[in-house]
Each structure stands twice: as structure tokens, then as C-alpha cells.
Amino acid sequence: MNIDSIKNGIVLDHISAGKSMRVYDSLNLDELDCSVAIIKNVKSQKMGRKDIIKIDNDFEIDLDVLGYIDPNITVSYIKDGITVEKKKLALPETITNVEVCKNPRCITSVETSLPQTFKLVDKENHVYRCVYCESRIAK
């Protein structure tokens, strides 16, 4: 298989195998007017298997969303065919409008204009709690 390199754009590498479609949907990549290559189940010495997404355009990426989905993702920014910046992600301390609180008694169930905000409470187990009702979400 041959996937061309990109001249200007972004490469999302080291995505855990099987998570590329969630990244694609969460970043709304279907709305971009450019080429997006999703390479799934690539052999990796470091990870065994991984996914890669190549975006042939430069745009603003929500790094908190990526860090929440998979903190191992590496984001590389490409200019004129050369990597000019590489970012390693981590779990964000707070996430907003990435998940929805499942508690039917939460104020966000009634007041739909409120942001769905969660704070990281257990980094090791990837556990977040709703800032309004303390309901827990775990990945």
C-alpha cells in the first residue's frame, strides 16, 4: 500500500489501533475540504499495531479532545514536506463538550445550554467527574 506524503498539513500518529474513526468523528474531519487518509492497523514495533491519520491541510485541532481519546497520540505539523513541530499529548485536566453526563438529575439534562464539563480526578485510571453533579465517566 502506498500513501503519499503530505506537503502541508497534520499527521496524527501513534493512535491506538481501532481508535482512528473516533478521532475522525470527534474532530469533525468529514467537514474538511481536503484529503484525509486513515491508515488502520499498521504494524508498529513500539505499539504492536496502531492507526495513523494524515490531513492534507493545516487547521486548528483540539488537542484536549485528542488527549482524552488517546493520550499517546503524536501530532506532527508539516510545512513544505518537513515536520516543523511535533507535540506529544497527555490527559487534559478538564474536557468540555467531549462527553455527555449520563446522570438524568444533572443540571445539564435540563439546562441544555450549559457546557458538558468534566474534571480529571484519577489520572491512572482515566476517570473524570462532571463539575455539576460529580457523576463519574471512565474510558
Give how many domains the chain has, as a whole number.
2
> Distance from CA of residue 6 to its chain's centroid?
20
Average pLDDT of the chain, as a whole number: 91
Helix (H, G, I), strand (E, B) or coil at 42: strand
CB–CB of 59/8 below 8 Å?
A: no
CATH number (domain holding residue 121): 2.30.30.20
What is the reported pLDDT for 45? 84
Asked if residue 1 belongs to a domain, the reply is no
Asked if residue 121 belongs to a domain, the reply is yes
Task: Compute the chain's Rg from CA coordinates.
Answer: 17
Measured torsion, CA atoms of residues 60, 65, 46, 138, in degrees rounded to the nearest 10: 180
Q: Are residues 61 and 81 in the same domain?
A: yes
Q: 97: which DSSP letter?
A: S
Q: Are residues 48 and 16 in the same domain?
A: yes
Give residue-wise pLDDT tens across range 124-135. Answer: 999 999 999 999
Q: Are residues 103 and 84 in the same domain?
A: no
What is the reported pLDDT for 1? 54
Model confidence band, residue 6 (pLDDT cutoffs 50, 70, 90): confident
Element at 28 (helix H, strand E) = none
- Determine the straight-line distance between the first and last CA of the chain, rounded to whole angstroms: 33
- The DSSP string of 18-76 is T-HHHHHHHTTGGG-SS-EEEEEEEEETTTEEEEEEEESS-----HHHHHHH-TT-EEE
Return d(Cα 122, Cα 103) in angstroms, integer.
19
Tell me: pLDDT of 3 over 90: no
Model confidence band, residue 84 (pLDDT cutoffs 50, 70, 90): very high
Tell me: pLDDT of 106 over 70: yes
CB–CB of 106/132 below 8 Å?
A: yes
What is the reported pLDDT for 2? 57
Q: Are residues 13 and 75 in the same domain?
A: yes
Q: Are residues 72 and 99 in the same domain?
A: no
What is the reported pLDDT for 17? 92
Q: Are residues 99 and 84 in the same domain?
A: no
- Which of 49, 72, 88 is the last residue in one of the domains? 88
Give residue-wise pLDDT tens across range 26-80. Answer: 999 989 888 899 999 888 888 889 999 999 988 888 899 999 999 999 999 999 9
Domain limits for position 64:
9-88
